[in-house]
Structure formats: structure tokens, C-alpha cells
Amino acid sequence: MYTVPKLEDFSPAALDTAAADLLAALKAEAAAASGAEAFAEFRNRWMARKNGLLTQVNELWLKSAPGPAKREVGQRVNSLKQEAEALVTAAEAEAATGALRAKLAGERVDISLPGIARPLGVRHPVLRTLDELISVFVKMGYSVAEGPEVETDYYNFEALNFPPNHPARDTQDTLFVSGQEAKAQRDRLLLRTHTSPVQIRTMENLKPPVRVICPGKVHRNDAPDATHSPVFHQLEGLCVDTNITFGDLKGTLDHAMKSMFGSAVKTSFRPSFFPFTEPSVEVSISCPFCGGKGCRPCKQSGWIELLGAGMVDPNVFGFVNYDAKKLSGFAFGMGVERLAMMTYNVDDIQQFFYGDMRFLEQFA
């Protein structure tokens, strides 16, 4: 068993020999240690503060060195202790790794066993409906575009052919950001009332052909009730190319509604008006609950109005530098909550926003 010798000779050669003997003994004892208890004893023997071998080196070598040699001996001792401590730490890590290898070697893991399922919840019924809508149009070749919820009057109204005195611009319908009075009307900020501004931004950045859907959250100054909410979700779509006709619009929406509600559903188009489309239509579907015979969801009419649509007004193309003489297109927009209410037979839109777990757990 190694013991720290008391030095009589403090020459560099003698110090080299003593240090080499100490390190050789340390390595041999580290290799001989086996098991947690043996290694703990080994570590304490060398590293203990009061009587460890490295502490004894300091006492027997440095303190007993003659004055002229103390500085050099001190440097050699410090270097030796650092090297020895590094060897002890490395030996400790190797011992822990070896113990882990031995443990794993004795265990068998069946990788065919299923993992532990963690309950992560489910998509909100509104978002689930929105995902289904997006999937329908993506399969038809549409891309998804998004834009800011805080918009300027220009993108929300002016570029969509809303005249300056249109009632939708009034604060009774639109939520404007305060402190905008000093700005020109087109630069005033507001919470977007529809996702149509995304269509304008898309046409500004893309050359035709354009086929894009614009899902997102919108805001209006509506009093909340069973069918209205100041915040809700929309999905709008835009298709621009050469020779796009009203028949393309009808075919697209008819296919989308059949994909959502079944092949037996019929679509109906009635003339309407929107500033950004001409001609404009309101689109209804035959009630998927009663097959058009009349029931409570369709108010005994056999039809449910779902969305607005129309051919893009040529004036809108002027704002994005599209040639209205060569291009045509159609646009449509629908409220996602209304579709979710139909799909899940919910009679109050506010239920989607209360966060009541008793309500949401029905859709898990």
C-alpha cells in the first residue's frame, strides 16, 4: 500500500521520481477498485481533506522544503495535485460508466411494447372545422395565406372598393385603434373585419395565376348573442387567372360543400351585393339534417345560408396592378363558427368562447 515518503532531496530529478511513483500508485489503486464501496474508500484515501494522500504531499513535501526551494517545490506540488485530482475524477467517471454497462447488460428491453400514452387533449371544435375546410381547398390546389389582424383602412376597405362613406367604416361596425385622428383615413389602424386584406396583400406579391385561401380571426363591433360574437373566424378564398367564369365559382363551392356535408347536399346561389365582387351572390346549401324537408336548424325552409361570394370587381384589380381586361377571378368567404355550429349541433356561438370544460369535453 502506497504511503507518501518524506523527502530529503528536493532537486528537480528527485521531485520527478517522487511524483512518478505517486501517480503510478494512484493509477494502480484506481484500477484495482471495484464496486461503489471500494471506489468510495479509494477516493477518500487520496482526496480526504484532513489525512488524504494529496494533503500529506502538501505537508511532507512543501512544508519541509528548504526556503530557497519552496517556490519551485510549491509549483511542482500544485501541478501534481491537479493531475492526481483529474485522474481520480476520470477513474470515478469510468467506474460509473462501467456500473451502468453492467446493469444494462443484465437487463432486456422489449422494444415492441407500446409507450405510455399521454393525454394531450383535442382540437377545439372551431379549429377542427377550420382544419377540415382548409383540407378541402388544399386538395383542390389552393395555397394558404395569412396576414396581420391589425390592419390599415387601406387594406381593409379602400383596396377592396369600399367607398369613403360606406357604413362598414363606421365605428358602430369596425373597431378602430384609438389616437389615429391625425392620420390620413387610409393609414388609420383597425382590427380587421374580414380576411379579405390578405387577398390584397397576396395579389400585391404574386403574379397570376393565384389560388389562395385566407383563414384567420376577425373582429367586429357586434354585441354578443346566440349567433353573433365580436371575435370569430373566417375562411376566405380567391382565384384569379385568365378565363375564370362564374361557372368555375359555382363548381368550386358546390364541390367544397359536398366534401364537407356529403354528396347529397345541393347548393343555391341568390343575387346579393358586396363592394368587392360583381356580380355577388349569397350561397346556401340544402339542409344536411333534414335533406331539405324542413327542420329547426334550417328554420323549416330546407336551406341554410352559409357564405357570400362573387366575381372579383375589376376596380379591385386596379389597386394591385392586375390587368382587368385579361384577367378575371372569383372570391368567397364564410364564417367558421357557423359551420361548426351546424356540424356539432350547437345553438349558441358563445359556447365556443366561454372555455367551459363541460362543453368542450363533449368533443374529445
Structure confidence at residue 155 (pLDDT): 95
Same domain, 98 and 151: no
Per-residue pLDDT, averaged over 90-95, amounts to: 74
Same domain, 93 and 157: no
* Chain segment 253-268, per-residue pLDDT in tens: 999 999 988 898 899 9
Query: Is residue 296, in this structure, part of any structural domain at all?
Result: yes
Give the end of a domain, one of 39, 71, 105: 105
Same domain, 145 and 79: no
Same domain, 66 and 173: no
Closest by CA position to 342, among listed 307, 304, 294, 300 = 304
pLDDT of 214 strictly over 90 = yes
Same domain, 86 and 132: no
Give the end of a domain, one of 59, 74, 105: 105
CA distance 155 to 199: 9
Structure confidence at residue 236 (pLDDT): 96
Query: Is residue 59, in this structure, part of any structural domain at all?
Result: yes
**Helix or strand or coil: residue 242?**
coil
CA-based R_g, the chain, Å: 39
Per-residue pLDDT, averaged over 307-330, amounts to: 95
pLDDT of 98 strictly over 80 = no
CA distance 152 to 168: 14
* Chain segment 25-76, per-residue pLDDT in tens: 878 877 777 766 777 777 777 777 777 777 777 777 767 777 777 787 777 7
Structure confidence at residue 335 (pLDDT): 93
CA distance 56 to 53: 5
Distances from the Cα of 143 to the Cα of 136, 139, 146, 213, 239, angstroms? 11, 10, 10, 6, 10
CATH of the domain at 314: 3.30.930.10
Same domain, 36 and 82: yes
Same domain, 293 and 215: yes
Q: What is the overall mean pLDDT for the chain?
A: 86
Same domain, 89 and 209: no
* Chain segment 6-17, per-residue pLDDT in tens: 877 778 788 778
CA distance 280 to 309: 6
Strand runs labelled E in the chain? 143-144, 150-152, 189-191, 210-219, 231-241, 267-274, 277-286, 303-312, 328-335
The answer for residues whose C-beta is within 8 angstroms of residue 83's C-beta and 6 or more apart is 23
Structure confidence at residue 243 (pLDDT): 94
Per-residue pLDDT, averaged over 306-329, amounts to: 95
* Chain segment 115-148, per-residue pLDDT in tens: 887 777 788 999 999 999 999 999 999 999 999 9
Same domain, 213 and 341: yes
- Its domain, for residue 79, covers 12-105
What's the CA angle centered on 269, arms 268 and 271, to 5 degrees? 150
Same domain, 87 and 144: no
Structure confidence at residue 309 (pLDDT): 96
Query: Is residue 84, in this structure, part of any structural domain at all?
Result: yes
User: Of the ranges 94-103, 129-138, 186-195, 291-300, which one carries the lowest mean pLDDT score?
Assistant: 94-103
Sign of CA dihedral 6, 10, 11, 16: positive
Question: Domain total for the chain?
Answer: 2
Distances from the Cα of 60 to the Cα of 2, 8, 82, 289, 304, angstroms? 14, 10, 17, 97, 98
* Chain segment 100-110, per-residue pLDDT in tens: 676 777 777 77
Structure confidence at residue 195 (pLDDT): 96
Query: Is residue 120, in this structure, part of any structural domain at all?
Result: no
Query: Is residue 332, in this structure, part of any structural domain at all?
Result: yes
Query: Is residue 116, in this structure, part of any structural domain at all?
Result: no
Per-residue pLDDT, averaged over 87-115, amounts to: 74
How close are the terminal C-alpha atoms of the chain, in Å? 70
Query: Is residue 4, in this structure, part of any structural domain at all?
Result: no
Same domain, 68 and 174: no
Instruction: Report which residue type is found at 79.
Output: S
pLDDT of 351 strictly over 70 = yes
Per-residue pLDDT, averaged over 195-204, amounts to: 96
Structure confidence at residue 172 (pLDDT): 63
Kind of pairing between the strands at 189-191 and 150-152: antiparallel
Q: What is the pTM of this model?
A: 0.65
Query: Is residue 115, in this structure, part of any structural domain at all?
Result: no
**Helix or strand or coil: residue 312?**
strand
CA distance 239 to 331: 6
Same domain, 64 and 153: no
Give the end of a domain, one of 41, 74, 105: 105
pLDDT of 171 strictly over 70 = no
